C-alpha cells in the first residue's frame, strides 16, 4: 500500500513538506481511539530484543536523527514499532537552519540530499515536547549552534546534555553533519577531546551516568578514524554511530546537471551504503567489546542491515530507506535480523 499509493502521493509534495505533513498527520491520528492498535497490527515487527548500552531494545531498528528534530514524534516512532528513536539534532538556542529548499529527492538513486543546517526549536522546546513516560528508548542527538565558535563548542554540547539528561536514555555527540560550517573540523582527536572531557566529567558526576556515543562521518581517512577511536576510548565513550551523510557524489543515476543544480548537502540513501559499511567494518576491527557500534547509511533492505551486523553493529538506524520503503522496511529488517545467526561471519 505504501509503495503503490501513499508514496506516490507524498512524492507529489516537496520533500520537506511531505516529511512534516506525514509526521504531523500520524501524530494527530494517534489521538483517535483504536488507531494505535491498527497501526501496530499493520506495521509493528515481532519482538527481537537486543541488549546493549546497558539497555534492552524491543528490536534492533531505530529511527535516525533528523526525522524528529524537536522530540514531537516519539509516540509516532513507538506506535510504528521502532526499537528506539534518535531525536535531534538539538542545539541550545533555536535556529532556522539553512534557507529552503534544503531537502531533495534523487528518486532514481533512492537517495536524498539535505542541507537542513540543524534547524530546531532549541533545547528548552525539546524539554517540553519529550514524553517523560514511554515504552520506546530515546537517544538525544546534540550539537552546537551555527554562531558558536568551535573553540566554545563544548559549552553547547554540555548545556544540551545537562538540560536533557533526565529525559534521555543515551546521548549522541554530532560532530559530523556537513551542513553546519566548520562542524566537521571537530572530528579531529584534539577538538573532540575538548568536547568529550567536560561532557563525560559531568556525566560521571550524575547518580545515573548515561551512555554517550559519537556520530562520525563516512568521509574520514583511516588514520583520523583510528585517532578518534582512541580519543573515544580514553573518555569511556559507550559507542560510535557510523555514519552520517556524505559530501561525496558517487556514481549516480540522477543526471549530473540535476545534482549540480541541487548544490551542496549531505547525501543519504542507497549510494551511501557501501561507504558507511566500509567505515563500520574499520570500526569493527578497532573497537573493544565494551563499545557499541550502531550502523546507519543506505539501509533499504534487510540484507543491507545485515551488512552492518557483519561489521559488528548491534543496532541499526534508518531514515532515507524509511522514506522510500515505508514501515515494511522496519518489519523486513527485524525478521531477517531475528532469523540470522547471532554471530554472522564476515564476508
- pLDDT tens for each residue of 266-318: 999 999 999 999 999 999 999 999 999 999 999 999 999 999 999 999 999 99
Q: What is the DSSP string of 157-192?
A: HHHHHHHHGGG-SEEEEE---TTSTTGGGGGSHHHH
275: cell is: 561507504
Which pTM was predicted? 0.95
Name which of 279, 275, 247, 311 is nearest 113 in CA terms: 247
pLDDT value for 344? 54
Asked whether residue 7 carries a pLDDT value surpassing 90, the answer given is yes
Torsion sign over Cα 223, 308, 291, 152: positive
Do residues 18 and 11 lie in contact, with contact meaning Cβ atoms separated by under 8 Å?
yes
What band does 93 get if pLDDT is binned at 50, 70 and 90?
very high
| Catalytic residue IDs | 177
- pLDDT tens for each residue of 17-68: 999 999 999 999 999 999 999 888 888 899 999 999 999 999 999 999 999 9
- Give the whole-angstrom CA distance, residue 280 versus residue 296: 9
Name which of 274, 322, 246 is nearest 26 in CA terms: 322
Burial class (CB in 10 A: 0-12, 13-18, 19+), 305: buried
What band does 346 get if pLDDT is binned at 50, 70 and 90?
very low
pLDDT value for 342? 62
- Give the Å distances, CA to CA, from 258 to 107, 113, 329, 332: 12, 12, 28, 32
Q: Which domains does the chain have, with CATH numbers?
A: 2-339 (3.20.20.70)
> Which residues lie across from 266 on neighbouring strands?
114
End-to-end CA distance of the chain: 34
Asked whether residue 199 carries a pLDDT value surpassing 70, the answer given is yes
Amino acid at each position: 500500500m505504501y509503495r503503490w499509493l501513499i508514496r506516490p502521493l507524498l512524492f507529489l509534495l516537496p520533500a520537506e513538506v511531505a516529511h512534516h505533513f506525514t509526521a504531523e498527520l500520524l501524530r494527530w491520528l494517534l489521538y483517535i481511539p483504536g488507531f494505535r492498535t491498527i497501526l501496530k497490527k499493520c506495521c509493528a515487527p515481532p519482538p527481537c530484543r537486543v541488549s546493549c548500552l546497558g539497555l534492552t531494545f524491543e528490536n534492533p531498528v531505530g529511527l535516525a536523527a533528523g526525522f524528529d528534530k524537536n522530540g514531537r514524534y516519539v509516540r509516532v516512532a513507538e506506535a510504528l514499532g521502532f526499537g528506539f528513536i534518535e531525536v535531534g539534532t538539538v542545539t541550545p538556542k533555536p535556529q532556522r537552519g539553512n534557507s529552503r529548499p534544503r531537502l531533495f529527492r534523487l528518486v532514481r538513486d533512492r537517495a536524498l540530499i539535505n542541507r537542513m543546517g540543524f534547524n530546531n526549536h532549541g533545547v528548552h522546546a525539546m524539554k517540553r515536547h519529550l514524553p517523560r513516560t514511554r515504552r520506546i528508548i530515546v537517544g538525544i542527538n546534540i550539537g552546537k549552534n551555527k554562531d558558536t565558535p568551535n573553540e566554545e563548542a563544548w559549552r553547547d554540547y554540555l548545556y544540551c546534555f545537562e538540560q536533557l539528561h533526565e529525559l534521555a536514555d543515551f546521548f549522541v555527540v554530532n560532530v559530523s553533519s556537513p551542513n553546519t560550517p566548520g562542524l566537521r573540523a571537530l572530528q579531529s582527536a584534539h577538538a573532540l577531546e575538548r568536547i568529550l572531557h567536560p561532557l563525560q566529567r559531568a556525566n560521571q558526576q550524575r547518580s545515573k551516568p548515561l551512555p554517550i556515543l559519537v556520530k562520525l562521518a563516512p568521509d574520514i581517512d583511516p588514520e583520523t578514524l583510528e585517532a578518534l577511536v582512541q580519543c573515544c576510548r580514553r573518555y569511556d565513550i559507550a559507542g560510535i554511530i557510523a555514519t552520517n551523510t556524505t559530501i561525496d557524489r558517487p556514481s549516480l543515476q540522477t543526471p549530473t546537471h540535476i545534482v549540480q543544480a541541487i548544490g551542496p548537502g549531505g547525501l543519504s540513501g542507497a549510494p551511501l551504503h557501501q561507504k558507511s559499511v566500509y567505515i563500520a567494518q574499520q570500526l569493527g576491527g578497532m573497537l573493544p567489546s565494551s563499545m557499541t557500534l550502531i550502523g546507519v547509511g543506505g539501509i533499504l533492505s534487510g540484507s543491507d542491515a545485515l551488512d552492518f551486523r557483519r561489521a559488528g553493529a548491534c543496532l541499526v538506524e534508518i531514515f532515507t530507506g524509511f522514506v522510500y520503503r515505508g514501515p515494511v522496511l522496519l518489519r523486513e529488517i527485524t525478521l531477517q535480523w531475528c532469523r540470522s545467526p547471532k554471530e554472522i561471519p564476515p564476508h
